[in-house]
């Protein structure tokens, strides 16, 4: 079942923390916000309540963030400048946390706050980005800025990561989230320096997507930050790119976390929108490992309701899936055609359920005299009449397989063994093992 990753913030810390520990599978802190001492206090409390609860920290990297300390109202049509350095002679300048990246190709627009707010891109002159706002909005502190098709400086990224990890080396954390990873070079260095940490790479720009297979191979898990990814590569590419990242990650058995606006409507409302529910169902079908809640739990007064709703919804989906998708053992065995099958079935009822399959070689051990005779009429089928014991089942199986190994292994050196241990309604067998001839030579 897909699990819940909860972000802790002002709405979920302190006395509320225990609720989120008990009702989330994984806990996250975004270290771009608040001071380290606040994070340490809450992480220590989590580990005190539940030492086994995994804690993820997203650490600041090269991602551009606005450095406004208070909310700023920006009007539609207003010209705004963004700069890493203070400009004494310029008005309407918003400072940024890092220098502007290189731009692979010119874009008509750039974005703030995970692609929520759009600006018409006028130009970048003397490392100053100028744009015109496409809507009225309030810019809250420390919001991300994305310029499509940016290429970030790896050396700066590496320096920032190592510097920050040194600062938080005493925190009791398990996982580290790395934003805007563009290749595996930094990953390899970080893993060598901090071998006990789990590194979760966030693929969220074009270069990261292009090198995704290398990044996935060298990461412990992958997070898809859909806000940054959409703003960096264009929203029309988001679905395609996300699907490909999921497929490539799952193909080598790594975990996938889906982030950004999974249940944003619950920040203000009690129930989610239909679009959000469909979005969740889509990712459940993709079998992602975690759905991440960000502002939904970090800053919203409805944070508990959000976790409660998602937890209940996932449980309902799991229950329905279990009821509808119970796979009977005879359905599994359909895939064994053209193989050797060894069946121990006392009364022989199970044979009726698999009789239509064409096996390369079927050997049935049973007490059913009539069935033994019937099977003598079928090609590739062998039946052996034996008395089933009430105990010492495993030695009984071993001795009979060994005794008749020439019959069982005449076609292949291995076979599938089906045996009745705990009979179920409508199914007379419930264990399958793979056996090899070499195990029965002694």
Q: What are 70-93's pLDDT values in tens digits? A: 999 999 999 999 999 876 666 778
Residues 414 and 361: beta-carbon distance below 8 Å: no
* pLDDT per residue of the chain (442 residues) written in tens, 0 to 9: 899 999 999 999 988 999 999 999 999 999 988 999 999 999 999 999 999 999 999 998 898 999 998 999 999 999 999 999 876 666 778 999 989 998 877 789 999 988 899 999 999 888 899 999 999 999 999 899 999 999 999 999 999 999 999 999 999 999 999 999 999 999 999 999 999 999 999 999 999 999 999 999 999 999 999 999 999 998 999 999 999 999 999 999 999 999 999 999 999 999 999 999 999 999 999 999 999 999 999 999 999 999 999 999 999 887 665 555 556 677 778 788 788 999 888 888 778 778 878 888 899 999 999 988 888 888 888 899 999 887 777 888 899 999 999 999 988 888 989 875 554 444 444 678 889 998 887 6
Enter the tokens of residue 102: 């290189």
Alpha helix locations (H) across 24-117? 36-49
b/e burial code for range 355-391 (CB count within 10 A of at least 16 → b): eebebebbbbbbebeebbeebeeeeebbbbeeeeeee
- The beta-strand segments (E) located in 14-107 are 26-30, 55-58, 64-65, 72-74, 79-83, 93-95, 102-103
pLDDT digits (tens, 9 = 90+) for 239-273: 999 999 999 999 999 999 999 999 999 999 999 99
106 class by beta-carbon count within 10 Å (0-12 exposed, 13-18 middle, 19+ buried): exposed
Q: Rounded to the nearest 5°, which phi and psi values hold at 128?
A: -115, 125
CB contact set of 259 (below 8 Å; sequence gap of 6+): 202, 223, 224, 225, 226, 227, 292, 294
């Amino acid at each position: 079942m897909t699990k819940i990753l909860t972000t802790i913030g002002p709405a979920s810390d302190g006395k509320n923390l225990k609720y989120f520990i008990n009702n989330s599978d994984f806990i996250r802190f975004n270290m771009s916000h608040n001071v380290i001492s606040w994070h340490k206090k809450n992480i220590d409390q989590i580990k005190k309540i539940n030492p086994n609860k995994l804690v993820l920290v997203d650490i600041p990297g090269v991602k551009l963030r606005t450095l406004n300390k208070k909310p700023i109202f920006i009007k539609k049509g207003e010209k705004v400048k963004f700069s890493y350095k203070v400009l004494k002679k310029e008005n309407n300048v918003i400072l940024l946390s890092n220098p502007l990246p290189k731009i692979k190709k010119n874009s008509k627009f750039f974005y703030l706050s995970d692609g929520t707010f759009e600006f018409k891109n006028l130009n970048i002159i003397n490392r100053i980005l100028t744009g015109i706002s496409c809507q009225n909005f309030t810019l809250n502190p420390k919001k991300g800025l994305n310029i499509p098709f940016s290429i970030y400086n790896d050396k700066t990224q590496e320096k920032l990561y190592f510097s920050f990890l040194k600062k938080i080396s005493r925190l009791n954390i398990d996982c580290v989230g790395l934003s805007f990873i563009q290749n595996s070079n930094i990953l390899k260095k970080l893993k060598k320096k901090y071998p006990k940490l789990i590194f979760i790479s966030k693929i969220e720009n074009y270069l990261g997507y292009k090198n995704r297979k290398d990044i996935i191979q060298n990461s412990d898990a992958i997070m898809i930050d859909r806000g940054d990814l959409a703003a960096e590569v264009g929203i029309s590419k988001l679905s395609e790119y996300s699907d490909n990242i999921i497929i490539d990650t799952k193909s080598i058995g790594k975990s996938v976390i889906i982030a950004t606006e999974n249940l944003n409507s619950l920040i203000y409302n009690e129930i989610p929108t239909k679009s959000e529910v469909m979005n969740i169902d889509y990712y459940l079908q993709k079998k992602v490992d975690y759905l991440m809640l960000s502002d939904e739990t970090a800053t919203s007064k409805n944070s508990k309701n959000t976790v409660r709703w998602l937890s209940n919804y996932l449980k309902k989906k799991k229950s329905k899936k279990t009821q509808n998708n119970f796979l009977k053992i005879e359905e599994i065995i359909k895939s064994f055609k053209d193989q050797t099958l060894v069946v121990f079935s006392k009364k022989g009822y199970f044979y009726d359920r698999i009789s239509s399959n064409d096996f390369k070689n079927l050997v049935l051990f049973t007490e059913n005299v009539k069935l033994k005779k019937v099977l003598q009429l079928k090609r590739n089928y062998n039946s052996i009449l034996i008395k089933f014991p009430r105990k010492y089942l495993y030695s009984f199986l071993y001795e009979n397989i060994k005794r008749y190994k020439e019959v069982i292994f005449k076609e292949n050196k291995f076979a599938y063994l089906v045996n009745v241990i705990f009979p179920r309604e409508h199914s007379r067998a419930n264990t399958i093992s793979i056996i090899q001839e070499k195990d029965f030579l002694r």
